[in-house]
Structure 1
Amino acid sequence: MRLIRLPKRILSGLLAGALLLTPALAFTDTTGHWAESAVNKWSQEYGVLQGYDDGSFKPDASITRGAFAGILDRFLQFQAAAPAGTFSDTKGSRWEDSILKLNAAGVYLGSEGKALPGDSITRQQAMTMVARAFQLGGTDNALAYHDEAQIAGYARPYIAELTARGWITDAAEGSFRPTEPLTRAELVNLLNNMIQVLIQTSGSYSSNVEGSLLINAAGGAELSNMTVTGDLLIAPGVTGAVTLDNVTVTGEIRNFSSVTPQILSTPAEAPVTPVDPVTPVQPTPPEEPGTPGSGDDFDWGIVVVPTPADPSAPTVPEQPAGPGIQPSEVYTPGITTGETIDYSDRKIPVYAGTEQNQLRHGDFIWAADHPDRLVYIGSQFRTRFGIDVSAYQNRASQNETIDWQAVRNDGVDFAMIRIGLRGYSSGKINEDAFYRQNIEGAMAAGIETGVYFFAQAITVEEAIEEADFVIERLRGLNINGPVAYDWEMHDSSYRVYGTSPEMATACAIAFCKRIQEAGYTPMIYAGTYVSYVKYDQGAIAPYLCWYPEYKSDSSEKLCPTLYYQPDYWQFSSKCSVAGIGGNVDANIQFIR
Structure 2
Amino acid sequence: MGNTLRVTIVGALLAALLLGSAQASFTDTEGHWAYSAISKWSEQYGIIKGYENGTFQPNSSITRGAFSVILDRVMHYQAASAAETFTDTLGTWCESEVLKLNAAGVMLGNEGRALIWDTISRQEAVTMVARAFGIPEAAEESAYSDAGHISDFAKGYVAAMARYLTDTEGNLFRPRDAITRAEVVSLLDNMVSVLYQKPGSYSEEVNGNLMVNAPDVVLADMHIAGDLIVAPGATTAVTMKNVTVDGSIRNFSSHEVAVDETPQVPDPPVDPSENHTPAGSALTPTGNVTGETISYSGNRIPVLQGVKVNDLDQSGFYWENGRLNYGAGNYTARFGIDVSAYQNRACPNTTIDWEAAAADGVNFAMIRVGLRGTSSGKLNADAFYAKNLEGAHAAGIETGAYFFAQAITVEEAIEEADFVISLLEGHNITGPVAYDWEMHDSSYRVYGTDPGVASACALAFCDRIAQAGYQPMIYMGNYVGYIKYGEYMDQLNKYPMWFAEYKTTASEKLYPTFYYQPNYWQYSSKGTVAGITGDVDCNLQLIPR
Q: Are residues 571 and 181 of structure 1, via their aligned partners in 2, closer, same or farther at CA, if it must alter by over 3 Å?
A: farther
Q: Does 1:582 align with 2:537?
A: no
Q: Are residues 387 and 378 of structure 1, via their aligned partners in 2, closer, same or farther at CA, if it must alter by over 3 Å?
A: same
Paired position in structure 1 for 2:234: 182
Question: How do residues 164-563 of structure 1 correspond to structure 2 at under 5 angstroms?
Answer: 177-178=229-230, 182-183=234-235, 297-298=259-260, 304-307=266-269, 317-322=274-279, 325-328=280-283, 333=286, 335-367=288-320, 371-535=321-485, 536-563=488-515
Paired position in structure 1 for 2:163: none
In the alignment, the residues of structure 2 paired with residue 129 and residue 546 of structure 1 have an alpha-carbon distance, to the nearest angstrom, of 38
Paired position in structure 1 for 2:524: 572
In the alignment, the residues of structure 1 paired with residue 469 and residue 314 of structure 2 have an alpha-carbon distance, to the nearest angstrom, of 37
Please state whether the residue corresponding to 1:490 is helix, strand or coil. coil
**Structure (1 or 2) with the greater helix fraction:** 2
Identity of aligned residues (%): 49
In the alignment, the residues of structure 1 paired with residue 521 and residue 71 of structure 2 have an alpha-carbon distance, to the nearest angstrom, of 46
Please state whether the residue corresponding to 2:274 is helix, strand or coil. coil
In the alignment, the residues of structure 2 paired with residue 468 and residue 333 of structure 1 have an alpha-carbon distance, to the nearest angstrom, of 28
Q: Are residues 426 and 180 of structure 1, via their aligned partners in 2, closer, same or farther at CA, if it must alter by over 3 Å?
A: farther
Q: State the 1:538 CA deviation.
A: 1.6
In the alignment, the residues of structure 2 paired with residue 293 and residue 35 of structure 1 have an alpha-carbon distance, to the nearest angstrom, of 23
Q: Are residues 320 and 552 of structure 1, via their aligned partners in 2, closer, same or farther at CA, if it must alter by over 3 Å?
A: closer
Report if the CA contact (8 A) 2:474-2:495 is conserved.
yes
CA RMSD in angstroms, aligned pairs only: 4.2
Equivalent AA in structure 1 for residue 398 of structure 2: E
In the alignment, the residues of structure 1 paired with residue 516 and residue 391 of structure 2 have an alpha-carbon distance, to the nearest angstrom, of 34
Q: Are residues 128 and 465 of structure 1, via their aligned partners in 2, closer, same or farther at CA, if it must alter by over 3 Å?
A: farther
Gap runs ≥5 in structure 1: 1-8, 16-31, 39-59, 61-122, 146-151, 161-175, 187-285, 309-313
| Higher RCO structure (Cα 8 Å, ≥6 apart) | 1
In the alignment, the residues of structure 1 paired with residue 346 and residue 72 of structure 2 have an alpha-carbon distance, to the nearest angstrom, of 29
Report if the CA contact (8 A) 1:415-1:450 is conserved.
yes
In the alignment, the residues of structure 2 paired with residue 500 and residue 400 of structure 1 have an alpha-carbon distance, to the nearest angstrom, of 39
Report if the CA contact (8 A) 2:205-2:223 is conserved.
no
Q: State the 1:561 CA deviation.
A: 0.6
Question: How do residues 120-135 of structure 1 correspond to structure 2 at under 5 angstroms?
Answer: 127=196
Q: Are residues 436 and 296 of structure 1, via their aligned partners in 2, closer, same or farther at CA, if it must alter by over 3 Å?
A: farther
Equivalent AA in structure 2 for residue 177 of structure 1: I
Report if the CA contact (8 A) 2:221-2:441 is conserved.
no
Per-residue CA distance 1:127-157 (angstroms, 9 max, x = gap): 5999996x86543x58999xxxxxx997554
Q: State the 1:360 CA deviation.
A: 3.0
Q: State the 1:333 CA deviation.
A: 3.8
Report if the CA contact (8 A) 2:224-2:245 is conserved.
no
Question: How do residues 9-28 of structure 1 correspond to structure 2 at under 5 angstroms?
Answer: none
In the alignment, the residues of structure 2 paired with residue 179 and residue 555 of structure 1 have an alpha-carbon distance, to the nearest angstrom, of 25
Paired position in structure 1 for 2:135: none
Paired position in structure 1 for 2:152: none
TM-score (norm 2): 0.57
Report if the CA contact (8 A) 2:500-2:522 is conserved.
yes
Q: Are residues 460 and 291 of structure 1, via their aligned partners in 2, closer, same or farther at CA, if it must alter by over 3 Å?
A: farther
Report if the CA contact (8 A) 1:485-1:523 is conserved.
yes
Gap runs ≥5 in structure 2: 1-24, 29-49, 53-69, 77-99, 101-191, 213-218, 250-256
Report if the CA contact (8 A) 1:386-1:414 is conserved.
yes
In the alignment, the residues of structure 2 paired with residue 142 and residue 153 of structure 1 have an alpha-carbon distance, to the nearest angstrom, of 16
Equivalent AA in structure 2 for residue 319 of structure 1: H
Equivalent AA in structure 2 for residue 555 of structure 1: S
In the alignment, the residues of structure 2 paired with residue 33 and residue 485 of structure 1 have an alpha-carbon distance, to the nearest angstrom, of 42
Q: State the 1:416 CA deviation.
A: 0.3
Report if the CA contact (8 A) 1:341-1:349 is conserved.
yes
Paired position in structure 2 for 1:209: none
Q: Are residues 136 and 382 of structure 1, via their aligned partners in 2, closer, same or farther at CA, if it must alter by over 3 Å?
A: closer
Q: Are residues 530 and 138 of structure 1, via their aligned partners in 2, closer, same or farther at CA, if it must alter by over 3 Å?
A: same
Aligned residues: 352
